[in-house]
Amino acid sequence: MNKELIIAGFGGQGVLSMGMTLAYAGMVEDKEVVWMPSYGPEMRGGTANCIVVVSDDRVSSPIINQFDTAIILNQPSMDKFESAVKPGGHILYEANNIMNPSTRDDISTYKIPAVVEANKLNNPKTMNMIILGAFLALNSVVKNESILEALKKVLPERHHHLIPLNEKALLKGAELVGEFV
Amino acid sequence: MAENTISTPTFKKTENMEKVWEKPSILFDVPNHYCPGCGHSVAHRLIMEVVEELGITDRTIGIAPVGCSVLAYNYLNVDMQEAAHGRATACATGIKRIFNDKILFTYQGDGDLAAIGTAETIHTVNRGENIVIIFVNNGIYGMTGGQMAPTTLEGAKTSTSPEGRNLDLMGHPLKIANMLAILEGAYYVTRQSVHTAKAVRKTKKALMNAFKYQIEGKGGTSFVEIVSNCPSGWKMTPIQSNEWMADNMFDFYELGDIKTPPKEGK
Amino acid sequence: MSKKLLMKGNEAIAEAAIRAGVQGYYGYPITPQSELLEYMSSELPKRGGAFVQAESEVAAINMVYGASGAGARTMTSTSGPGFSLMQEAISYIACAELPCFLVNVMRGGPGLGTIQPSQGDYFQAVKGGGHGDYKMIVLAPNSVQEMADFTYLGFDLADKYRTPTMILTDGALGQMMESVQFPEYNLDEHLVDKPWATTGRENGRKQNVITSLHLQSEQMEQINLKLQKKYREIEKNEVRYETIETEDADFLIVAFGLSSRVCHKALELAREEGLKVGLLRPITLYPYPYDILNKLADQVKGMLVVEMNAGQMLEDVKLAVNGKVSVDFYGRMGGMIPQPDAILSKIRELYSAHTKTKMEV
Ligand SMILES: Cc1ncc(C[n+]2csc(CCOP(=O)(O)OP(=O)(O)O)c2C)c(N)n1
């Protein structure tokens, strides 16, 4: 197994922490992982993205321009990374934030109403966990338990009581793509 | 040959004669390279007297500057480092922070401490590093041949202010000790000289205080400025230079304590 | 071995340095290395070391000079603009033969440049960025694990040869996360005696002096000869490199640090197309692996050097190859990172050109 993905959106949407959680979970399962943030001035309010690789073998490069999956949380990122998905790959995008989704027909595109569902869970911040849940349902990269384990590392202690809610969000995401599969 | 022999005076040892002075054993017994009449040699001796009398030779580390006293370690028989131009207090900081029980002093000229090393000087004192800074202010760049220093007085002629220091063009002489005294980290700031026997005694007292404060770990930097002469740089005889210093320098660089430690509480 | 941790490269260097017994860290903030400084500020004092945020990189490196002259394990870290400021003192440190460990997390230059990753400080690190004839051992990690491993190594080599050693890395490796394990390190087995250190004249021993001043030319030449002898020794003992799929290669990529990771990916893609490409990755940039490159020049039909600069290590590759094969270059500058597909198309282009030439012969 070797999964190369990019997560992209606005700074503040939890793009970097979503990627970091996935990388942690990979490590929990003893896989090789890389988390490469795109940092710099553009992090503040502008677009932010991170590359995550989870693999059974040594990861050659943390710099990649062709991805198995792109998780896209805003329109500029859709425009930028649509063409960077390998043929046969996936795009998962957040429904409310994107007007013009990909028109490519050589990849599978999943529209995830994560903002709406997060509001139903009474916590808008669970938006990225819902998308992550959808991604994991489509790609068995790591187990949900490992994500919960990872959240203990990524979240500050005072937010640990939110972990059960995040579990709900993961399951919700899986349920949403269940409708596609 | 007899006529060329200079007879050395012989002193009769007298049993009941009191010994009033002895060269400190930790001053190397070598001729120094300083110009005749230069204040550096007296300052060197005083530091070694103080270190020896305090019994701290085995834990004292000195930092030499770049300047006329760059070779101070050839005279001061304690462990020494030769720092880059202006950086002596940074070196001392690096050591003192790890080896708190060592006694650190820097020995610096005015170009070294108050021009190229101003930032290090200010920040070392501002952090209140528990070290002794000895600042020899001769109002000139001695080693490189008598150029203007930040401390050069108004109107003074040097090789880079041939018409005399013009304040409009060249800025004002810098009273760095007074500047440092306002910093919270400064514990003891004093300005002394070594041009008379009385002045020498006072300077020794000041150095003694400074080293004692460090040993006691009183919290803060001790700064001893020694206003000094530079007969060669000033193009004067040693005696003229001392007179010129007394007549001109002390008006601007007033001698005495600038900041003294707070009195102990009752 | 510690358990696996997910860490940024900058943090891995800091943690490894603490485990390697660093006694004093002196630094000044600059992106993209600040995580290292910040990690040290919170961890080092708790674990028995001294942390000072200096007023400048000039002060920081001179604090290192002082403390290593007094026998301590010391370090500083910075990025290009700060490293430029440190050059004077590094020259003093090399001449006074003080062991210390330095880190340059490169960003795009020249000038204030950008905070994005770069490899533009190769010449400065490898050829001696300060005045006079001196060298530093330069280690170029390409993973977070190596950031940690080479930190231990850097301290040990510094002590072994009484020389400054450094890690030359970049903002991407500094800020990306990978898993890392810290090896067991029994400090007592690694510490060496430093009878030359200025510790105070304990028990009335002879004076120790740390200096780089030797006014007599004859004496200064002797100092230089001694340094050069040490550098030959280092060149004999400490060359490190990694080869990937070079056994059957008829085309070679040469790259260090982050570029070597991207080239590894390009190599995988090229191999999928049946192109017999190999990769040589210098790990020590000084001493440089000239010999292996010279040997590989007999085997391959061409070489491609890939760097995040205008072609600096390229000069060393050409020196090593000495005209035996053609050496091409692909580089990005100013904070741009070469992408795998761009390198792949360069490989395709050169590969067919060189193998065709061979068939015509
Ligand atoms: C970076 C650097 N710049 C310049 C010099 C040249 N230099 C050596 S000594 C000196 C002036 C020293 O003057 P001061 O500190 O007043 O000491 P003095 O010689 O008067 O005792 C200068 C400019 C140097 N060694 N290093």
Please tell me the total count of domains within chain A: 1
Mutation test of the interface with chain B: which of C25, C198, C212, C215, choosing the one with the most B Cβ atoms within 10 A? C198
Q: Rounded to a whole number, what is the distance in Å from the CA of B222 to chain C's nearest CA?
A: 19
> Rounded to an integer, what distance in angstroms lies between the CA atom of residue A24 and that of residue A1?
17
Residues of C in contact with A33 (CB under 8 A): 6, 177-179
Range of the structural domain that residue A158 is part of: 2-178
| Neighbouring residues of A10: CB distance < 8 A, sequence distance ≥ 6 | A45, A46, A47, A48, A73, A74
Q: What is the pLDDT of residue B16?
A: 75
Cα dist. B114→B161, B176, B200 in Å?
A: 18, 7, 23
* A180 pLDDT higher than 80: no
Residues of A in contact with C113 (CB under 8 A): none
Ligand 1 pocket: which of B143, B152, B194, B234 to mutate (most atoms <8 Å of CB)?
B143
Give A48-94 as a DSSP string: EEEEEEEESS----S--SSEEEEEE-SHHHHHHHGGGEEEEEEEEEE
Ligand 1 center to residue B112 CA distance, Å? 6
Mutation test of the interface with chain A: which of C11, C33, C175, C177, choosing the one with the most A Cβ atoms within 10 A? C177
Q: Rounded to a whole number, what is the distance in Å from the CA of B187 to chain C's nearest CA?
A: 20
- Residue nearest (by alpha carbon) to ligand 1 atom 10: B67
DSSP 8-state symbol, B27: B
- In which band, very low, low, confident or very high, does the pLDDT at B1 lie, cut at 50, 70 and 90? very low
State the average pLDDT over residues C154-173: 98
Q: What residues does ligand 1 touch, defined as CB less than 6 Å away?
A: B 66-69, 85, 109-112, 138, 140-144, 149
Residue B210: burial class (beta carbons within 10 Å; 0-12, 13-18, 19+): buried
Predicted confidence (pLDDT) per residue in B165-223, tens digit: 999 999 999 999 999 999 999 999 999 999 999 999 999 999 999 999 999 998 899 99
> Rounded to an integer, what distance in angstroms lies between the CA atom of residue C26 and that of residue C61?
7
Ligand 1 center to residue B139 CA distance, Å? 13
Which of B58, B73, B82 has the CB atom closest to C202's CB atom? B58
pLDDT top residue among B262 and B74: B74
Which of C26, C72, C210 has the CB atom closest to B81's CB atom? C210
C5-194+211-237 CATH pick, 3.40.50.300, 3.40.50.970, 3.40.800.20, 3.30.70.100: 3.40.50.970
Which residue ranges make up each domain of chain C? 5-194+211-237, 241-360
Yes or no, beta carbons of C23 and B78 under 8 Å apart = no
Q: What's the CATH architecture for C241-360? A: 3-Layer(aba) Sandwich (3.40)
> Rounded to an integer, what distance in angstroms lies between the CA atom of residue C263 and that of residue B259?
63
Predicted confidence (pLDDT) per residue in B43-83, tens digit: 999 999 999 999 999 999 999 999 999 999 999 999 999 99
Predicted confidence (pLDDT) per residue in C303-337, tens digit: 999 999 999 999 999 999 999 999 999 999 999 99
Domain at A121, CATH number: 3.40.920.10
Yes or no, beta carbons of A60 and C265 under 8 Å apart = yes
Which residue ranges make up each domain of chain B? 40-255
Yes or no, beta carbons of C66 and B102 under 8 Å apart = no
- In which band, very low, low, confident or very high, does the pLDDT at B265 lie, cut at 50, 70 and 90? low
Residues belonging to chain B with any Cβ–Cβ distance to chain C shorter than 8 Å: 57-61, 63-64, 70-71, 73, 77-84, 87, 90-95, 97-99, 102-103, 119-120, 122-123, 127
Q: What is the pLDDT of residue A12?
A: 82
* A90 pLDDT higher than 60: yes
User: Nearest 5°: CA angle at C300, between C296 and C302?
Assistant: 110
Nearest to B229 by CA among B33, B36, B76, B31: B36
CATH class held by domain B40-255 = alpha beta
State the average pLDDT over residues A109-134: 96
Average pLDDT in chain C:
96
Which of C32, C114, C261 has the CB atom closest to A60's CB atom? C261
Residue A15 · residue A50 · CB < 8 Å: yes
Regarding an ipTM greater than 0.85, the answer is yes
- Asked if C221 has any chain A CB less than 8 Å from its own CB, the reply is no
C 122-161 residues inside an 8 A Cβ radius of B:
none
Q: Rounded to a whole number, what is the distance in Å from the CA of C304 to chain A's nearest CA?
A: 18
> Rounded to an integer, what distance in angstroms lies between the CA atom of residue A50 and that of residue A84?
14
Residue of C nearest to B84 (CA): C89
Yes or no, beta carbons of C340 and A62 under 8 Å apart = no
* C358 pLDDT higher than 80: no
| DSSP alpha helix (H) spans, C162-289 | 171-175, 187-190, 217-237, 257-272
Mutation test of the interface with chain C: which of A34, A63, A154, choosing the one with the most C Cβ atoms within 10 A? A63
DSSP 8-state symbol, C182: P
- In which band, very low, low, confident or very high, does the pLDDT at A43 lie, cut at 50, 70 and 90? very low
